[in-house]
Amino acid sequence: MTKIIGLTGGIGSGKTTVAKYFASKGIPVYIADEAAKDIMNDKEVVQEVQTIFSEHVIQENGLLDRNAIRKLVFKNKSKLDQLNKIIHPKVKNDFDNWLKKNKKAKFIIKEVAILFETNGQKYCDATILVTAPIETRIMRVLERDSTSRENILQIIKNQLPEEEKIELATYIIENVNLNITYKKVDNLIEILNNI
């Protein structure tokens, strides 16, 4: 039976970097955010999402305006919950189909930004939390995205506090120095191959 290893971390922690490193080692990696983006491009889903908002969130090209949606849901938890009720079951179904295709793997990595927030750890055999100091995380996001420090802090505030995630995680990888991070992942791959 293929083991499901949940991989998560707050914004700017480097969870995607860690996920890509797992993939470079030949381990199947499912990135839930990418799956959700693909699902949100589906015409029926676009229309379904529009029904949540009084504001127009469909662009001229027929796709959802993700930036507008992001701004709307970060200020309004009930809108975020409604959006999640549409997208999460579709992502779960997509993951189940993907898992069937990778059932020969000893373990797979499922990268989910809000794994603990959605109680997703109960569907995993183990979890990995990628952490980094808050200032490091803020600097990474400022370099990566065209956003403000205030926006980043708002996103961090909307995520589960780091201390709570640490309590829930099976394994923790502090991602400050990339070479050290990669060594920690190599060690973890050995551990996961033997569980």
pLDDT in tens, the chain (195 residues): 899 999 999 999 999 999 999 999 999 999 999 999 999 999 999 999 999 999 999 999 999 998 899 889 877 889 988 998 999 899 999 999 999 999 999 999 999 988 998 899 999 999 999 999 999 999 999 999 888 898 888 888 878 899 999 999 999 999 999 999 999 999 999 999 988
146 labelled binding-site residue: no
Instruction: Give the pLDDT confidence score for residue 128 in this predicted structure.
Output: 98
Counting residues of the chain whose pLDDT is more than 90, the rounded percentage is: 79
Kindly list the domain boundaries of the chain, sorted by start residue.
Answer: 1-28+103-195, 42-101
What pTM was computed for the model? 0.89
116 within 8 A of 168, measured Cβ to Cβ: yes
30 within 8 A of 109, measured Cβ to Cβ: yes
Tokens 């808050």 map to which residue? 134
Instruction: Give the pLDDT confidence score for residue 67 in this predicted structure.
Output: 86
Instruction: Give the pLDDT confidence score for residue 182 in this predicted structure.
Output: 97
14 labelled binding-site residue: yes
Q: In the chain, count of helices (H) and strands (E)?
A: 9, 5
120 labelled binding-site residue: no
Rounded CA-CA distance 74/9 in Å is 18
170 labelled binding-site residue: no
Q: Which CATH number applies to 1-28+103-195?
A: 3.40.50.300
Q: Residues 37-53, buried b or exposed e (16+ Cβ, 10 A)?
A: eebbeeeebbeebeebb
Instruction: Give the pLDDT confidence score for residue 102 in this predicted structure.
Output: 97
Rounded CA-CA distance 158/29 in Å is 26
9 labelled binding-site residue: no
Tokens 């849901």 map to which residue? 73
Instruction: Give the pLDDT confidence score for residue 155 in this predicted structure.
Output: 83
181 labelled binding-site residue: no
Q: What is the pLDDT of residues 86-99, one digit of tens each?
A: 998 999 999 999 99
